[in-house]
Amino acid sequence: MDTEADEAGSLRADRARRVANVLRRQVLDGAFGGGVLPDERALVAEFSVSRNTVREALALLRDEGLVERRRGVGTVVVGRAYAHPLGELAGLAEVLHHHGSVVNQVREARLVRPPRAVARRLGLGEGEQAVHLERLRSLDGVPLSLDSTYLLPWIGKPLLALEREALEHRDVFDLIETVAGAPLGGAEVSVQAVTADAATRAVLRMPESAGAVLTVERLTSLADGRPADLEFIHLRGDRLVLRARVAAPWGRGPGQERAR
């Protein structure tokens, strides 16, 4: 019997979502030894909810492609996500190299006339060209992100002269600093969830149930403050987790009010 049967269905849905929030983090952190979640009875006791609520929570994770039900085994982990530090100027290969082989399928690498909005962000004049790189980035064959990068011509042209293998196995940040000889200083980053269009979903090999992707817009600057490149990155939210450590406002201690 459902102990929450006398409550509104939406309340049970809320509880299922809260249970899924906790379980999702545990799944992504590899907290379940052997890749098997506790059985329903144990989850009911842990979260103090009904069995139906637990089942709804597990269904949410199943729809995300993280777990599946196997007869005679239970609920097993079938998906994996990897943490990417949002607060560090680091490339995917640099961050995930210890998890496996990161390879970039180069979809485009050429000089283009960038959109006006891109040209303005990069400080390019009317009619000036930029180098455009588009790469599909995969870890051990599993697509993680689709990166569209516009670079200043004097930074990007040396990259175009490289063998294709260099663009497939090295991060753009590494190439900018070592090949173009342009030390980086920092970046402005914004993140937004957007509806995944059919083409992007197909390229990233996302499950049909996935309705959104994380888009990262990152304007990277040189050490002297000049812009270097502007990236538009589509990330699989079911495979990458963006993480950052933040601090309290400077000068705010116990008992102090936030400055107005």
Compute the distance between CA of residue 122 and CA of residue 207 in angstroms, rounded to an integer: 35
pTM value is 0.76
Q: If you average pLDDT over every residue of the chain, what do you get?
A: 85
Token match 């102990």: residue? Answer: 3
Say how far apart CA 198 and CA 206 lie, in whole Å: 10
Query: Which amino acid is it at 100?
Result: G
Pairing verdict, β 184-195 and 212-222: antiparallel
pLDDT digits (tens, 9 = 90+) for 102-127: 888 999 999 999 999 999 999 999 99
* Domains recognised in the chain with CATH numbers: 9-77 (1.10.10.10), 82-243 (3.40.1410.10)
Question: Where is 46: in which H helix or E strand?
Answer: helix 40-47
DSSP strands (E only) in the chain: 67-70, 74-77, 82-85, 102-112, 130-139, 142-151, 184-195, 212-222, 227-235, 240-243
Pairing of strands 184-195, 74-77: unpaired
pLDDT band per the 50, 70, 90 thresholds, residue 70: very high
Q: Whose CA is closest to 193, among 157, 229, 162, 236?
A: 236
Per-residue model confidence as pLDDT tens digits over 186-235: 999 999 988 888 888 889 988 776 667 889 999 999 999 999 999 999 98
pLDDT digits (tens, 9 = 90+) for 13-38: 999 999 999 998 888 778 888 889 99
**Cα angle for residues 78, 80, 82 (degrees, 5° grid):** 180
User: Residues 182, 187, 190, 194: what is their CA dihedral angle, to the nearest 10 degrees?
Assistant: 20
Contact between 133 and 106 (Cβ < 8 Å): yes
CB atoms within 10 A of CB 108: 11
